[in-house]
Amino acid sequence: MYPNVQAYDRGVMFNPDGRLFQVEYAKEAVRNGATSIGLIAKDSVVFVAHKNIAEPLAIPATIQKVFRIDSHIGATYSGMVADGLHIIDVARNRAQNHRLIYDDIKSVEALAKDISAYMMQATQYGGLRPYAVSFLVGGIDSASRLFEIEPGASFLGYKADAIGVGKKTATEMLMKEYKDNMTTEDAVGLGVKKIKKISEGRLSEESLDVGYVESGSDYVLLSPSEINQYL
Amino acid sequence: MYPNVQAYDRGVMFNPDGRLFQVEYAKEAVRNGATSIGLIAKDSVVFVAHKNIAEPLAIPATIQKVFRIDSHIGATYSGMVADGLHIIDVARNRAQNHRLIYDDIKSVEALAKDISAYMMQATQYGGLRPYAVSFLVGGIDSASRLFEIEPGASFLGYKADAIGVGKKTATEMLMKEYKDNMTTEDAVGLGVKKIKKISEGRLSEESLDVGYVESGSDYVLLSPSEINQYL
Amino acid sequence: MYPNVQAYDRGVMFNPDGRLFQVEYAKEAVRNGATSIGLIAKDSVVFVAHKNIAEPLAIPATIQKVFRIDSHIGATYSGMVADGLHIIDVARNRAQNHRLIYDDIKSVEALAKDISAYMMQATQYGGLRPYAVSFLVGGIDSASRLFEIEPGASFLGYKADAIGVGKKTATEMLMKEYKDNMTTEDAVGLGVKKIKKISEGRLSEESLDVGYVESGSDYVLLSPSEINQYL
Amino acid sequence: MYPNVQAYDRGVMFNPDGRLFQVEYAKEAVRNGATSIGLIAKDSVVFVAHKNIAEPLAIPATIQKVFRIDSHIGATYSGMVADGLHIIDVARNRAQNHRLIYDDIKSVEALAKDISAYMMQATQYGGLRPYAVSFLVGGIDSASRLFEIEPGASFLGYKADAIGVGKKTATEMLMKEYKDNMTTEDAVGLGVKKIKKISEGRLSEESLDVGYVESGSDYVLLSPSEINQYL
Amino acid sequence: MYPNVQAYDRGVMFNPDGRLFQVEYAKEAVRNGATSIGLIAKDSVVFVAHKNIAEPLAIPATIQKVFRIDSHIGATYSGMVADGLHIIDVARNRAQNHRLIYDDIKSVEALAKDISAYMMQATQYGGLRPYAVSFLVGGIDSASRLFEIEPGASFLGYKADAIGVGKKTATEMLMKEYKDNMTTEDAVGLGVKKIKKISEGRLSEESLDVGYVESGSDYVLLSPSEINQYL
Amino acid sequence: MYPNVQAYDRGVMFNPDGRLFQVEYAKEAVRNGATSIGLIAKDSVVFVAHKNIAEPLAIPATIQKVFRIDSHIGATYSGMVADGLHIIDVARNRAQNHRLIYDDIKSVEALAKDISAYMMQATQYGGLRPYAVSFLVGGIDSASRLFEIEPGASFLGYKADAIGVGKKTATEMLMKEYKDNMTTEDAVGLGVKKIKKISEGRLSEESLDVGYVESGSDYVLLSPSEINQYL
Amino acid sequence: MYPNVQAYDRGVMFNPDGRLFQVEYAKEAVRNGATSIGLIAKDSVVFVAHKNIAEPLAIPATIQKVFRIDSHIGATYSGMVADGLHIIDVARNRAQNHRLIYDDIKSVEALAKDISAYMMQATQYGGLRPYAVSFLVGGIDSASRLFEIEPGASFLGYKADAIGVGKKTATEMLMKEYKDNMTTEDAVGLGVKKIKKISEGRLSEESLDVGYVESGSDYVLLSPSEINQYL
């Protein structure tokens, strides 16, 4: 229909349908990333992320897919590693700055909006490429919150959500099995089970990151042995 | 007629007919956005916006389509989420600054002009893309006002107006049913009814945002249960 | 003759004939704008502008086509709305600054030159597009003045002039019917009559802006009812 | 010879023959401009410029083609109006600055060099276009001087010179009829006669600008009635 | 499939599969570089690097492939020499700055992240090319650490790893022969043996760099005669 | 051989042979310029330059081709007039600054190097074009010096040298007739004779610039009548 | 194999093989430069450089190919003259700054690294071209050192090395005849002999530059008569 479709996909420019191709191609990079899942449980928000490492001599523990942003906020990403780490740094700075300036925690939604605004810049200015990462950012302020932010910088709240290569499969499974008011343990179990399914069973405690934020206590990252109990 | 029409549509450049293609493509992005409606009622300005969310685990309440800009001004947008939120931030800052500097509220028209001027920049400088959002900005100063601003940055006042995917259908329906001096309740009811029609009946209180500015009181955002009474 | 004419029309570059295509395309955008007319009368300068609004729910009063720049200067434009409003803002600032610095009014010609110089920049630097607006700027200082400034930034004084879609037709009619030393009323009447002709009779007081600067008094904008007397 | 000659004419770049096409195209724009003539007379330098206005309602007096730069320097240009006015402003500032800094008049050659250096920048930097104007700058310091500066920024002194559409015809005529030590009146008469010839006789006092700098007195601009005596 | 694949590989832009071609081409440059190996031993981290010099008059000692970053951190690279040295400088500055600011050593992981973040910038901004180097950065803080960072700026920890032309072969051999808790001597011996194999036996002590960080003592660079004992 | 040779000649980029086309095209522009000659005589350095003016009404004296840079340094150029004057200005500033800072004259070689370094910048940065001028810069410090600098910014000392359209012819003639230790008069005579030859005899004192720097006295520019004695 | 190979060679971008074409083309320019040779002798480092001047009136002494960087460091280059002189200036500044800051001489390797780092920048940023020069930098600090730096900015130490058009031939000859611990005289003799061979015997003392750094004394540049003894 558009004989030289490639004319619109370099630089951050619209095509005649109003689409930004560079953003869509960045989403494709996310679609190739290892799967991450986030779930809102009764008094907690849970993150389970796959670390898809084929090399036997690699040390999976050196890849981090689930991060503490602040005591009450965690995050996980799928997509380009370096982009992911860069945005995680930005997010931590924003959370810290809020504490310094207001002497109070930043709300989870405000942080998700900050990440969205930061990633939006890269879709607006020529000479930059969009960030090739999707994020699940979640935590507890007045209630439990979970947000997805994608390369086009839009964000949306979820009860349970998946990003990366297994997004479609995981989301469908979550739709059937997710329940409100699960215990943290059940939520972790559900997340691990789904990633196990997506990875067709080839999963050790080393190729998973599991973290959660629970009401009234600081962010928790499970140890491999703790993860092992869910496999 | 112009064999290589694509020559004019990259960068913000005129074609031989004096059209800016990137602006027109950005309008196309708006045409794909969920519908928003604005109406001037007797002593109020009403906004009804559709949140078109297909994912069962998403939390519609986390998408906001109708915003308080100041106590006397509200707004809604259709188009790219991240662009919309960015302009909403700009608008709130302009309204706040006016209060700080002049110790008085900013007129609705002045705010609409500010948004227009801000969006115009992105149609003038190379290396930027136009913003892919249309806005309905409305409120009450000496009287009730409602303005539409589109990606090309022009703005126009309306008694009732729609933007987004249902613009054409909704506008035609409004032309028949809109009346001057409706009550706020009637205006909300008319807006909700039209969006229901456009979404072919598949509409819950969760996929609607309804807000209004009423003479003599602060901006009001309806709760889902309040919205439910109009469905 | 030039097989790839399009090679010269992107960016602000000359073609082999010494023409700037982007400027000419911007003029094309002006040629699509609603018609504005300016006339020098006995002791006044009169502006009559068409507001071509097809949408029944739009409020014509929210479109302004004739503007007060200072007590002794008015202006009207044809072309892209956002560009027009931007230049109007620039013009008002220049007029105000002159008063602040010199404690005297700015001459109409000096203001027209300022607008011309400002618009010239956009035809000189790469990475900018020319402004897609023509202006009629007029007023009274030591005598009555009326200037047209076009997207290429050249300006010229007129006794009576038209810009926009009806430029050619209106100018031909003005050549036959314009007289020196008309009264303000006659000038307004002549302008309104011409725009009525161009719009093929479909004209209400709401789709016209009429303003004038009269010797010894401040800029005047006619109300719809006052305009109605000329229809 | 060069199959894709257009490759060299965008941006300010050399072609294989060492020519700057954008400069040559800017000269083409000058060749389309109305003719201006400059002449060195016995104790004066005279400028006669054509104002080629076809529109009956335009006011020729609002187009200025001959300018006072300082009491002892005048100038005229052919080419793009907005470029011409911009350079005239630059020239006046340079002359004023010289007076302020050195408490003395600027020599005519120094001013011509300043204009040349200013116009050269626009032929050197990418992202700018050359100025599409030629200038005749003349005046009296220790003697009478007349310089032409063209879009490529080179300058040359003349006894008598013409620029614009009639350059070739006018120069040939001047070569035959110009005499050293003419009176100012004879020089004005010669200039007017030549422009009359070029415009094929269709010339009124309104479509001419005549100015001169005479030894010992300030720059003089002739009134239409004074010009009329030469027609 | 993509007829003009070359459209996506200039500048740092995504292709429709979400890949950054310039990054992949930079990796190709690394794949042409001489092999470097890193291994975690019992109480040390060992680096063995090949210096592939064919010119008889060159002095191999002037090429450095294994570097001391700080007393507890070493590094080696494969790829473009000038890029490698530039990043080594950056790494040393970061390690020194940490000491100056915190009066403590920088953790190996923090340094690897700094290098990753620095290299990421070059994949994000238009007008830069990615760095064409991979790094092995290792050392001892609370435990032994070894990280690989590649042109796309992602990083991953390893027990033993190889980069450069022999990456695939060396890694496969390491998978078979690497053991936990080797002595430093055994680790050096294993690394040297593998590089010998890759270079098909043509290896002198002059074409190898061997360095290690051992718990409780400063970074050590072996002399050619010490290396000779492993050949 | 290179089917699309034009690919390398825009912007300052190398072609596969390591040539900078834009520099070579700028040299072509110099090759079209009027001839200038420089000669080292016994106690002087002599410049003779042709002013190739075809227009009868032009005043050759207003074109300067031989310049005083400082009391002990002169210069002449061939190529684009505006570029030549710009570099002459730069050279004069450098010579003056040296005097101000060191209270001593700048050596001729140091000045030639300054010009070379200045012109080199324009061959290195994108967005600039090379200067289309060659220079002969000469003078006396501890001995007589004469340097040529060309658009590629390289420079070389000569006993006698020519630049511009007659470079090849003039150089060949100089090779036969130049002698060491000529008197200033003989050197001027030789230079004038050669330019006369190149211009095929059509030469007046007005179309020549002759200047020299003589040991122990300030730079001298010959008057037309003095030049006439050499014709 | 790559149908449009030219796609990768403009700007500093990688091709699919990980090569930077602009760097390789700059190397081609070096390959066209006159030959320079460097040799490490017993207590000295010797530079012999060819000055390939065909023009009889040129003064070879004005071309410098061997330079004093500091009392203990010399250098020679092949390639574009203006680039070579620019980098020599940079090198001298770096050596002087080191003395000023540390009150000690800069090591030869540190200086070579500085040049490499400086030249690397020009291979990394868009809008710059790589420097088209190779350098031999040598001198004596704790021992004798000789380094080659090429347009891609990599550097390597040598006992003896050649750059420029005769690189391959000269290097092969040096491989046969170079001996460790030659006297300075023998090293100069060997260098001169090789350049004589490359220039096919057409060599005078004027077309050679010979310099050396000897242990315990300042950098020495041979006079033409001293060079003559080696021919």
Beta carbons within 8 Å of A4's beta carbon, 6+ residues apart: B6
Q: Residue G7: pLDDT above 50?
A: no
Q: Do chains A and F touch (3 or more CB pairs under 8 A)?
A: no
- Among partner residues D25, D55, D82, which is closest to C154 by beta-carbon distance? D82
Query: Using a CB-CB distance cutoff of 8 angstroms, which residues of chain F are in contact with residue G86?
Result: 117, 120
Distance between CA atoms of residues F185 and B61, nearest Å: 96
Chain G interface test: which of E5, E51, E53, E81 (most G C-beta within 10 Å): E81
Residues 6+ apart with CB under 8 A from D152: D20, D23, D27, D123, D130, F80, F81, F82
Query: B155 vs C128: CB contact, 8 Å cut-off?
Result: no
**What is the sign, positive or negative, of the torsion defined by CA atoms of D10, D12, D16, D19?**
positive
Q: How far is G71 from chain F (nearest CA, A)?
A: 21
G-chain residues near F41 (CB < 8 A)? none
> Which two three-digit tokens encode residue B75?
């707004």
Going E153 to E159 to E163 to E165, the CA torsion angle's sign is negative
Q: Yes or no: say if D66 and D221 are a contact pair by the CB < 8 Å rule.
A: yes
Chains that touch D (3 or more CB pairs under 8 A): C, F
**Under an 8 A CB cutoff, do G16 and E28 touch?**
yes
Cβ pair G86:F154 closer than 8 A: no
Q: Are E109 and E98 in contact (CB under 8 A)?
A: no
Q: Answer yes or no: do G82 and F153 touch at CB < 8 A.
A: yes
* Residue-averaged pLDDT of chain B: 91
pLDDT at res. F12: 64
DSSP 3-state assignment of F1? coil
Q: What is the mean pLDDT of each run of 10 residues along chain C (231 residues)?
A: 35 78 91 96 96 89 96 97 96 97 96 96 86 97 96 95 96 95 96 93 88 95 95 88
pLDDT tens per residue across span E143-168:
999 999 999 999 999 999 999 999 99
pLDDT of res. D128: 83
Taking an 8 Å cut-off on Cβ atoms, the answer to whether F125 and G126 are in contact is no
List, for residues E119-146, the tens digit of each pLDDT value: 999 998 877 899 999 999 999 999 999 9
Under the banding of pLDDT at 50, 70 and 90, the label for residue B124 is confident
Distance CA A44, CA A30 (A): 26
pLDDT score of D12:
64
Question: From C12, which residue of chain B is nearest by alpha-carbon distance?
Answer: B13
pLDDT at G220: 96
Chain D residue numbers with beta carbons less than 8 Å from the beta carbon of F62 are 109, 145, 147, 155-158
Q: Tell me which residues of chain C have a C-beta less than 8 Å from any C-beta of chain D.
A: 2, 4, 7-8, 11-20, 109, 113, 116-117, 119-120, 123-127, 145, 147, 152-161, 171, 174-175, 178
| Predicted confidence (pLDDT) at residue E1 exceeds the cutoff of 90 | no
Chain G hits for F7, Cβ within 8 Å: 6, 9-10
In this complex, the residue of G18, G160, G174 whose CB is nearest that of residue E132 is G18
Output the six-digit token pair for A159: 């009860």
Pairing of strands C66-70, C73-79: antiparallel
Average pLDDT over residues E91-106: 96
Supply angle C-alpha G51, G57, G60, rounded to 5. 25
Q: What is the pLDDT of residues A9-43, one digit of tens each?
A: 445 678 888 888 889 999 999 999 999 999 999 99
Tokens 């136009």 identify what position?
A: B130
Q: What is the pTM of this model?
A: 0.88
Q: What is the mean pLDDT of chain E?
A: 91
With contact defined as 3+ CB pairs under 8 Å, the chains touching G are: E, F
Contact at CB, D22 and C13, closer than 8 angstroms: yes
What average pLDDT score do residues A205-227 get?
A: 95
Pick the residue of B4, B14, B174 with the most C CBs within 10 A to test the interface with C by mutation.
Answer: B14
Kindly give, in sequence order, each residue whose CB lies less than 8 Å from that of residue A80, ignoring residues fewer than 6 positions away.
A29, A33, A131, A132, A133, E152, E154
Residue D230, amino acid:
Y
Can you list the residues of chain F whose pLDDT is less than 70? 1-12
Among chain C, residues having any CB pair with chain B shorter than 8 Å are 6, 9-11, 21-22, 25-32, 53, 55-59, 61-63, 80-83, 85-86, 89, 122, 126-130, 132
Contact E14 A32 (CB under 8 A): no
Predicted confidence at residue A14, as pLDDT, reads 83
Whether F156 and G53 lie within 8 Å, measured CB to CB: yes
Mutate to test the interface with G, among E5, E6, E92, E207 (most CBs of G within 10 A): E6
Q: What is the pLDDT of residue G14?
A: 83
3-class SS string, G33-54: CCCEEEEECCCEEEEEEECCCC
Chain centroid offset of residue A72 CA = 16
**Distance to chain D for F177, nearest Cα, Å:** 32
Return the percent helix, strand and coil in chain E, to nearest 5. 40, 25, 35
Q: What is the pLDDT of residue E21?
A: 84
Q: Which residues of chain D have pLDDT under 70?
A: 1-12
**Residues facing B39 on adjacent strands:** B46, B160
pLDDT digits (tens, 9 = 90+) for A145-168: 999 999 999 999 999 999 999 999
Asked whether the predicted pLDDT for residue A125 surpasses 90, the reply is no
The B-side interface with A (CB below 8 A) comprises 6, 9-11, 21-22, 25-32, 53, 55-59, 61-63, 80-83, 85-86, 89, 122, 126-130, 132
Residue E219 scores a pLDDT above 80: yes
Give the pLDDT of residue E18: 84
Q: What's the rounded mean pLDDT across residues G87-110?
A: 97
Query: Does D10 sit within 8 Å of C8, measured CB to CB?
Result: yes
* Residues of chain A found within 8 Å of residue B61, distances taken between Cβ atoms: 157
The CA distance from G192 to G227, in Å, is: 9
- Residue of C186 and B15 predicted with greater confidence: C186
DSSP string for D36-80: EEEEE-SSEEEEEEE-----TTB-GGGS--EEEEETTEEEEEEE-
Q: For a pLDDT cut of 70, what percent of chain G falls above it?
A: 94
Counting one residue from chain C and one from chain D, the pairs whose CB atoms sit within 8 A come to 109
Give the one of A17, A116, A158 whose C-beta lies nearest to B57's C-beta: A158
Beta carbons of B20 and C127 less than 8 Å apart = no
More confident residue, B127 or C169: C169
Q: CB-side exposure of A142: number of CA atoms within 13 Å?
A: 3
Residue E3 is predicted with a pLDDT of 30
Crossing angle of helices D81-102 and D108-121, rounded to 10°: 130
Rounded Cα distance between F36 and F157, Å, is 15
- pLDDT at residue number D203: 86
pLDDT grade for E19, boundaries at 50, 70 and 90: confident
Residue G108 CA to its chain's centroid (Å): 14
With a cut of 50, say whether residue B149 has pLDDT above it: yes
Report percent pLDDT > 90 for chain D.
81
Residue of E4, E8, E157 lying closest to A58 (CB–CB): E157
Which residue from D56, D57, D82 is facing C153, i.e. has the nearest CB?
D82
Q: Which chain F residue is nearest to residue G30, measuring alpha carbons? A: F18
Residue E111 CA to residue E107 CA, distance in Å, equals 6
Chain F residues with CB under 8 Å of G130 CB are 14
Residues of F in contact with D156 (CB under 8 A): 53, 55, 58-59, 62-63
Three-state DSSP at F193 gives helix
- pLDDT score, position F3: 31
